[in-house]
Structure 1
Amino acid sequence: MDMQSDDGFVPISKMNHTNRSKQLLECFTAKFQQEPVFYVRVPGRVNLIGEHIDYCGYSVCPMALEQDILLAVSTGDGTMLKLTNVDPSYTDYECDIKNFEICNGGDGPKWHQYFLCGVKGLLDVLPQEISINGFNVAVSGIIPQSAGLSSSSALVSAAALSTSHVHNFNISKEELANLCAGCERYIGTQGGGMDQAIAFLASEGCAKLIEFTPLRCKDISLPLGAVFVIAHSLTRLNKAATADFNCRVVECRIAAQLIAKRQGIDCSTIKTLRDLQTALNVNLHTMIALVMKILHENPYTKEEIADELSITTAILEQTSLTPNTKHIESFKLHQRALHVFQEALRVQKFHETCNNFSSEGALVTLGRLMSESHNSLKDLYECSHPQLDRLVEISQNFSLGARLTGAGWGGCAVALVTSENVTKYIDMLRTKFYKQLGVENSDGLVFATKPNAGARIYVI
């Protein structure tokens, strides 16, 4: 039962222990010699459609998963933050909460650095009159990592939420979502706000259409008989460990600036492709036509872009690139912008189809949109992987449509399957995909899912 109504703040409920939370409790008491005062749960998410467009300002359609990050928390001594993890492969960590650094080494961030991102983001907005307290945290995570299911963003969000509760700082779900959307930039990831928005704003039983600037969301009721099955490709990529993700972000930014310059708009005011569309006051079909007319398909060199914008390459690096993309010498602007505008249209059609799901063929339409999305991500955005493509290919005869979900370059695919075909589809993947790769036990690698609720605090 909720002790606090869902009035814009994260709900607070009484803790009813499960086997997993009991294991977390044992880990906490063994490490800190005391019991936790509260627990925090933040779910992972699967994005049904709308990939790589949130950071361009366009709407997305995710839903929260049952898989989540669960924290046990108590106030500690002084200003020390102490972290431990149920999984012994993650080493313990502690620091002074008033004095820490977030560093991204060459092999990618450590698990505790994601937690520190959330702590820092919340402390940055904490009123000065509130005294900063340290706290103790034990972490249990069951979201598959580097799978495109938002495990890192869930940990960042859980850290921010626990920091706010430790300090009795009331902050709305929308404010937390916006705050956490910027937190991963402390380790160099230039993402959008989808993961954090669904983490805090998800409703059980509904997917969400999430729109940005300002952040707002609408419930999406999925057609009867629609089941989404998630399958791990057995390949992983930490998007903070490479320049691939940020390269796509800056390619979209530069594409927007080049089109703006050609259309007589002050390109210094344009940061996203949505900014560009708003400035031009035209529809998505017109934006697609402008990409085809203005941006050539061959890659642009850094010098060519600087010439087009009438700036130096040094200014280009300063204003449009990120620290880990300054070394890149060529950019595919046509392909990236074309994907974004076409994907934004697919999200619109997905939403419209769900609103009219009584119409015959709604499931077929949703599946087709998902398949088109994957092809675009593979061919135009170039963020797929051969094993993801294989998952999508063998899904054709057993699902209505499938696509990669998350950043890509590995991770998971999501398929739309009718309820009567779920078992057949999963069995097919076990035989034709996982066993072919030498995996006899694929439990946890492929599973059906339904929309779950967003973040929650549990008290003892």
Structure 2
Amino acid sequence: MFPTLSSFKATEMTANWISLRLGMSKGTNGKAEIANGNGVPILKAHPDLQARLTTLADDFKSRFQEEPEFFVRVPGRVNLIGEHVDYCGYSVCPMAIEQDILLAVASSKEANLRLINFDPKYPDFQWDFRAVRQWTKTGNGAPLWHEYFLCGVKGAMEVIPEGHLPTGVLVNLSGNIPPGSGLSSSSALVSAAALATMHISKCQLSKESMANLTAKAERYIGTEGGGMDQAIAFLGKQGSAKLIEFNPLRATDVTLPESAVFVIAHSLASHNKASTDDYNLRVAECRMAAQVIAKKRSCQWEYVKKLSDVQKQIGKNLEEMSAVAMEELHEEPYTFEEICNILETTQEHMKTASLTTTFSTSQNFKLQQRALHVFQEAARVQVFRDTCEEKKGNETEKLRCLGSLMSKSHASLRQLYECSHPNVDALVDDAVSCGALGARLTGAGWGGCVVAITTEDKAREFMEALENKFYKHRKHENTEIKDLLFVTQPNQGAAIYTV
């Protein structure tokens, strides 16, 4: 989606600063309260990043005849394990990556949002700034790049008090997260837009509140995401993966084995999850699976929105929930009418209660398979985290265990969740044959990237072998191999940089 300028590292400014949290509950009546220093940090740029910021600032000045007032950086992410479980209420284990979205931002006396992209192939965009509050996405297919930005602005405007917004805003955008790669380019863009809008309005939220705000804001694009991407974008930490838990949102450091190396490899098949109904269909299938299980277990299904909800209601562990799914849900696809009959409700009520408004009543739904993946994947996340945190375990055995969990995750995503792609499957197989301890698709699926685990001493050999086996005979003339196949490590989350 955006051009590569270079990589970065950052160190925190020594100056003290205060972050304010806007009141987001009825109890605070919209007043601001201290966020105890847990806001998005203001950082001093490492020289590599400073070079990128200078390039972006120069372009900003040449096109707007103004100086930027500040910069925003939001990283992409790779999810190590826990795919398609966040919107079901279960924990995930991602880490922020080096690739990012950068914004140069300034206020304007003109009452417009003027948005430009450092990459000239993306057309300039202009909109009445205040009118973004009323903006809604129109049309089908993949969203335009500026629509993700509008989602973030609109989400921020919903919590910014009257009188805080500037008259207008100027933004120049750059980034190096490959589009449709499963590395969260769209969520990073939404998050960057929201953060820029908050900062230019002199309003700050805690990192957790920003994650919740932007998760909600991205739904304006039409996808029912679960919040993982936004959470790691704001809560990411250099040197550590994160266990992200929901309801309430919280993040715990996950210390990866010292010799572990994670390699990201692009399958050469791109997919925008907002361009089709595939992603939202899986969300709906999981909700209906939870509701059917609740009904059959004599629970109030109307209050069940997620598979984690029904687990809490019937009081079973994850292993037991897999058995419950096998017992209460049949393998054959369900018709919409059959689900309505089981729940003893009308089709009209079901459309809103189960997120099926956009689907035809002739659509079939696979409930058992989706529920099985979610319960088993959620259990794999727990084992993955426990393995990483085990103090006495043998490092080699730890790595083998993590690799096995990742490979099992991919098999489940391919077979039970049906969100893989032939290129992705081939890349996973090639990665393992080239020496990876395990590999899996990362992100929504239907294309995008694979993440593989290897060791530090074998990483170079592994990448060379994978380049020869997978990429050598496939066309990728417009992209250098270093942007398709690279080592990653946990990086800093969202940050603001002063000029």
d(CA) in 2 for partners of 1:191, 1:350: 23
Residue of structure 1 equivalent to 2:363: 329
**1:346 maps onto 2:380 in alignment:** yes
**Secondary structure class of the residue paired with 2:119:** coil
Residue of structure 2 equivalent to 1:21: 53
2:442 aligned partner, one-letter code: T
Conserved 8 A contact 1:84-1:92: yes
Cα-to-partner distance string for 1:81-119 (whole Å, 9 max, x where unaligned): 110001111111011121132314222210000000000
Equivalent of residue 195 in structure 1, options 217, 222, 229: 229
d(CA) in 1 for partners of 2:154, 2:430: 44
**Deviating runs (4+, > 4 A) in structure 1?**
none
Q: Please list, as runs of the form range in 1=range in 2, the aligned pairs for 1:353-364 lying within 5 A after superposition.
A: 353-356=387-390, 358-360=392-394, 361-364=397-400
Equivalent of residue 225 in structure 1, options 254, 259, 273: 259
Conserved 8 A contact 1:133-1:167: no
2:69 aligned partner, one-letter code: V
TM-score, scaled relative to structure 2 = 0.90
Residue of structure 2 equivalent to 1:11: 41
Report the CA distance shift for 1:423/1:405 in structure 2 as closer, same or farther (over 3 A): same
Equivalent of residue 445 in structure 2, options 392, 408, 414: 408
* Greater alpha carbon shift after TM alignment, 330-339 vs 391-400: 391-400
TM-score, scaled relative to structure 1 = 0.97
d(CA) in 2 for partners of 1:8, 1:381: 37
d(CA) in 1 for partners of 2:234, 2:167: 24
Residue of structure 2 equivalent to 1:387: 423
d(CA) in 2 for partners of 1:436, 1:275: 47
CA RMSD for the aligned pairs?
1.4
Conserved 8 A contact 2:282-2:370: yes
1:325 deviates by: 2.7
Give 5+ residue unaligned stretches, structure 2: 1-11, 18-35
Q: Please list, as runs of the form range in 1=range in 2, the aligned pairs for 1:83-98 lying within 5 A after superposition.
A: 83-98=115-130
Conserved 8 A contact 1:75-1:135: yes
Report the CA distance shift for 1:60/1:304 in structure 2 as closer, same or farther (over 3 A): same
Conserved 8 A contact 1:64-1:452: yes
Residue of structure 1 equivalent to 2:458: 421
Equivalent of residue 296 in structure 2, options 246, 256, 262: 262
Give 5+ residue unaligned stretches, structure 1: none
**Secondary structure class of the residue paired with 1:73:** strand
Conserved 8 A contact 2:141-2:274: no
Conserved 8 A contact 2:241-2:490: yes
**1:445 maps onto 2:484 in alignment:** yes
d(CA) in 1 for partners of 2:337, 2:152: 38
**Secondary structure class of the residue paired with 1:436:** coil
Report the CA distance shift for 1:413/1:131 in structure 2 as closer, same or farther (over 3 A): closer
Equivalent of residue 406 in structure 2, options 343, 361, 370: 370
**Secondary structure class of the residue paired with 1:390:** helix
d(CA) in 1 for partners of 2:469, 2:279: 30
**Secondary structure class of the residue paired with 2:130:** coil
Number of aligned positions between the proteins: 460
Q: Please list, as runs of the form range in 1=range in 2, the aligned pairs for 1:149-228 lying within 5 A after superposition.
A: 149-228=183-262
d(CA) in 1 for partners of 2:164, 2:37: 24
Conserved 8 A contact 2:292-2:343: yes
1:363 aligned partner, one-letter code: L
Residue of structure 1 equivalent to 2:472: 435
2:373 aligned partner, one-letter code: H
Q: Percent identity?
A: 53
